[in-house]
């Protein structure tokens, strides 16, 4: 029983990792293999359904949708990764300082993170886009600001766990400075769960980017992002449903990979959960 469940958990992690890897490879080298550019229009081949020449069909400008999806996924992934990286840095810093310093700093920083956490994520994203202005970089900023409370909480809880470990006490007794202890002693020991959270966070970022750009307040055309392509496809959904549906399918594929991978990693690292599934 034990090994079977362990293996099953392992299998889903592997499937997730493979899907993620396939998606990464497709995004990195896919555009180079495609014979079309993302904005090449062929006016004799408008809105043609999926075929061998155009596996995802063409859009109303006669552009190859698969090529656009590959380029768009690049934009979406970079935006999401940048946002999550920002969230990781701010959140980890806030959480570690809050836990290490304790007292009012802890209370204030965590209350602020909790407050941000109470806003509906997408509403906050919309609000931030109005404040910052529509555009690619601001989408990444918005993702970072919305997602950092999660890292703050996680980093705080993890820091509280390792704060009194002997190696941290030793470093303190040796008279090392607080920033040095935080960076050299504590950070490496809490990094693993943060990385797992970042994997799941990238899936979240992709959804936020796609949603904002789909509404028209995120990445602006002609830059192709997954959300922008879907917004295009919405205009002629009745005549060419493949543009929107296949782009969405590509998003789901990436999200599925990231979710399975992230969940699997989390299960592997969480001893409580491992115990539960290993019963």
Stretch that binds other proteins, among 122-130, 159-167, 174-182, 186-194 (CB under 8 A): 122-130
Query: Residue 87 or residue 182: which is nearer to other proteins going by CB?
Result: 87
Which pair of structure tokens corresponds to residue 166? Answer: 């002997």
Number of residues that bind other proteins (CB under 8 A): 46
Query: Residue 3 or residue 238: which is nearer to other proteins going by CB?
Result: 238
Query: Closest approach of Cβ 70 to other proteins, in Å?
Result: 18
Query: Closest approach of Cβ 131 to other proteins, in Å?
Result: 4
- Residue pair 256/238 in contact (Cβ under 8 Å)? The answer is no
- Residue pair 181/243 in contact (Cβ under 8 Å)? The answer is no
The interface with other proteins within residues 234-263 (CB under 8 A) comprises 234, 237-238, 241, 244-245, 248-249, 251-252, 255-256, 259-260, 263
Q: Does 276 bind other proteins (CB under 8 A)?
A: yes
Which pair of structure tokens corresponds to residue 51? Answer: 């075929």
Q: Which of 21, 89, 123, 170 binds other proteins (CB under 8 A)?
A: 123
Q: Fill in the per-residue mask, 189 to 228: x = in contact with other proteins (CB under 8 A), - = not in contact.
A: --------------x---x--xx--xxxx-----------
- Residue pair 228/210 in contact (Cβ under 8 Å)? The answer is no
Query: Closest approach of Cβ 249 to other proteins, in Å?
Result: 8
Other C-beta atoms lying within 10 Å of the C-beta of residue 257: 22
Using a 10 angstrom Cβ sphere, with 0-12 exposed, 13-18 middle and 19 or more buried, the burial of residue 188 is exposed
- Residue pair 99/155 in contact (Cβ under 8 Å)? The answer is yes
Query: Closest approach of Cβ 258 to other proteins, in Å?
Result: 8
Query: Closest approach of Cβ 264 to other proteins, in Å?
Result: 11
Of 270, 230, 239, 254, the residue nearest 80 (C-alpha):
254
Per the DSSP assignment, residues forming a β-bridge with 64 are: 58
Query: Closest approach of Cβ 93 to other proteins, in Å?
Result: 20
Q: Which of 47, 132, 160, 268 binds other proteins (CB under 8 A)?
A: 132
Which phi and psi (to 5°) does residue 36 adopt? -110, 160
Query: Closest approach of Cβ 235 to other proteins, in Å?
Result: 12
The interface with other proteins within residues 88-117 (CB under 8 A) comprises 111, 114-115, 117
Contact residues for 63 (Cβ-Cβ < 8 A; gap 6+) = 36, 38, 39, 40, 41, 42
Q: Which of 61, 127, 163, 189 binds other proteins (CB under 8 A)?
A: 127
| Bond prior to 44 in cis (omega within 30° of 0) | no
Contact residues for 123 (Cβ-Cβ < 8 A; gap 6+) = none
Phi-psi region of 68 (alpha: psi -120 to 50; beta: other; left: phi over 0): alpha
List residues binding other proteins (CB under 8 A). Answer: 5, 111, 114-115, 117-127, 129-133, 203, 207, 210-211, 214-217, 230, 234, 237-238, 241, 244-245, 248-249, 251-252, 255-256, 259-260, 263, 276, 279
């Amino acid at each position: 029983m034990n090994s079977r469940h362990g293996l099953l958990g392992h299998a889903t992690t592997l499937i997730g990792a493979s899907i993620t890897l396939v998606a990464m490879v497709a995004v990195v080298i896919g555009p180079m293999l495609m014979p079309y550019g993302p904005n090449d229009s062929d006016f004799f081949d408008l809105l043609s359904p999926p075929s061998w020449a155009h596996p995802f069909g063409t859009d109303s400008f006669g552009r190859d949708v698969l090529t656009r999806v590959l380029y768009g996924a690049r934009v979406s992934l970079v935006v999401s990764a940048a946002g999550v990286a920002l969230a990781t840095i701010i959140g980890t810093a806030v959480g570690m300082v809050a836990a290490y310093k304790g007292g009012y700093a802890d209370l204030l920083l965590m209350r602020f993170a909790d407050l941000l956490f109470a806003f509906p994520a997408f509403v906050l994203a919309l609000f931030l886009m109005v404040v910052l202005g529509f555009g690619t970089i601001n989408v990444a900023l918005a993702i970072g600001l919305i997602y950092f409370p999660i890292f703050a909480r996680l980093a705080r809880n993890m820091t509280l766990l390792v704060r009194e470990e002997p190696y941290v006490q030793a470093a303190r007794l040796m008279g090392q400075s607080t920033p040095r202890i935080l960076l050299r002693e504590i950070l490496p020991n809490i990094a693993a769960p943060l990385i797992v959270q970042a994997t799941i966070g990238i899936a979240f970022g992709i959804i936020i980017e796609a949603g904002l750009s789909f509404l028209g307040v995120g990445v602006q055309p002609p830059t192709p992002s997954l959300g922008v392509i879907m917004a295009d496809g919405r205009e002629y959904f009745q005549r060419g449903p493949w543009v929107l549906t296949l782009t969405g399918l590509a998003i789901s594929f990436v999200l599925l990979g990231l979710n399975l991978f992230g969940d699997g990693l989390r299960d592997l690292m969480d001893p409580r959960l491992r115990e539960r599934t290993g019963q």
